[in-house]
Amino acid sequence: MAAIISFAPFGVLVAAFLVLPCSSRAGSFLRPSAASHLAVDDLAVDGDSMSCSPLNNHGSFSTVTVKIGSPPQTFALVADTGSDDLIVQSCICKASHHCPESFGSCFQGTNKSSTFALDPAPKEVFIRFGSGDIESVLASDIASVGLATALMNNSLLLMVQEALKIEGQFEGILGLGRPHRGATSVLEIGEDRELPDHRRTGQPGTPEHGGPKIEGFLEAANVDRFSMCFNEKTDGVLRLNAPKGTNNMASVGEMHWGLDFQGISIGKKSDPVKFCSPGSKKPGMQSACGIIPDSGTTMIMGPKDQISTLFEDLCSRWPRCQSMHDKLVAKLNMTAAQKINEVPYLVQKEAEESEQLAPTMQDLLDSFHDAYAKANTGDSEMPVPQNYPGAAGQGDYGEMKPDMATAAPTRSSTFQLLLQSCSSWGKSVNLNKEMPSLFFNVAGKEGASDVLELKPEMYVAEMPMEMVHTKRATMFGLPVIEVTKSVEMGCVPTFETMEYETQLNGPVWIFGTPLFYAFQVHYDRLAEPPTIAFLREPCGACVDGHPQVKTAALIGERLETSVTGGYLRRITTESREPKVDTKEPF
């Protein structure tokens, strides 16, 4: 389960909305319908046979079509392996202005769905995600995904209020999280609405937990296995009751779909890793690191120090980056003891040399010069693109700091700035041929293991970003620095920082959407423990609820407008953060 979930009697909110006229949308929604006594046996539940649903690609995330009610109301819900529940935006949320209009469609039950049921004293559910909180009401109705249909018996969560850090469309979540054997996913907390501290009350399945269980869609629809994969420029596929996978790895995580993460090899899968090696595991730990495959997270997320180490190694193994870094170090070959007022003179002298610097090189030199100057005046944060995941407030690995011993940039800084300038390289540059592959070493609880290769086209993406350029000029005979800003397409590594430290499994990484473009990720809920597998097969397509093999390749057609020749994925929508609560165990 990817969130702290608690629930209480639904009181004040109901009273507030019952004063509205019965003809109002919110008021009519809250009156119990004729379906209040609907039994599970009244509905046909079809989940035993294989079916599928398209995964609509929004760039930074994907949604799945979910139909709820009779007649069905259609919603685009985030297909999220990091959470458990079926959550849909209630029209109450819109009517009370607790959900923005940009979120999209909302669900109305009474007087619109003949199968809708709401208890006379409905329960209020509070869900704390890593990206914010959701307040919901428990209700009943039928739901379908592809050809699978189920009665959500008092387990349909109607979102009535939210405090999420999400921009744009968000109609709800189709939770596809790890099953919890014999666990309950709610806590009785009474009227005070105080979210309990899970570190005091224990985890689901422990004696401290009480209250009824909220059943997810997969369980209600008898879906034992499913798989997910994404296609570029077209829909991906969610397969329900997919065939058994191969090389199944038992989930190490007790709360999440998680595996033993044994580091990243660069260039060759046999190359040694710099972090998360099994040998670095401390006594009493289950693994040195953990990793969660999460379809609802845009980026690959990990600890700041480990991501910085990865970027350092990538630069040293990428000739273009290492060459640029060597030139920058040579140009800024000075010690921190040199006076700061000497720097402008040195840079100006270098610019006047017969061998002029290319514009990109000059921009990088200016950037590092400014970083050095700010480091010596107590302000060490370098301006970076505002919407880039490494920007201040969005991931600290984006800070461009020179090495204070030599005033030279780090390879990590060179790597990031060099990618940002990819539009100046020309479309003949193919990063797949220049940069090394990354090999993620993962293992299951019972010994099975796998090595997952991500080529540069999988871990580098194009993204619009605000670029800052500096130019040295004179005004009234005095030297000045002109600063200009522009929005340009650049390239970024699809990594972002997140600190998720656990006692048993060390730092935990989130393996976001890049994984699902490279593999069919297969989940077996029936196995004990539940298992994960990575299939090297084309994603395929879903037509009329049936999976089809024939489709475009995983990455798809080339984009002629691309700044890098068309083979990189372009992300133009807001990056989605994980819904995992980093205070929870793995």
User: Which amino acid, residue 241?
Assistant: N
pLDDT at 124: 86
Which segments of 82-199 are extended strands (E)? 86-89, 123-129, 132-145, 148-164, 172-175
Instruction: Give the β-pairing of 300-302 and 402-403.
Output: unpaired
pLDDT at 365: 57
Question: Low-confidence residues of the chain, pLDDT below 50?
Answer: 1-47, 182-211, 335-357, 371-406, 551-561
Predicted TM-score (pTM) of the model is 0.78
pLDDT at 559: 42
CA separation for the pair 15, 85 (Å, rounded): 26
pLDDT at 148: 94
pLDDT at 497: 92
pLDDT at 430: 86
pLDDT at 87: 95
pLDDT at 313: 96
Q: DSSP 3-state assignment of 308?
A: helix
pLDDT at 158: 95
- Report the CATH number of the 4-223 domain: 2.40.70.10
Q: What is the CA radius of gyration of the chain?
A: 26
The single residue listed with the structure tokens 């461009």 is 400
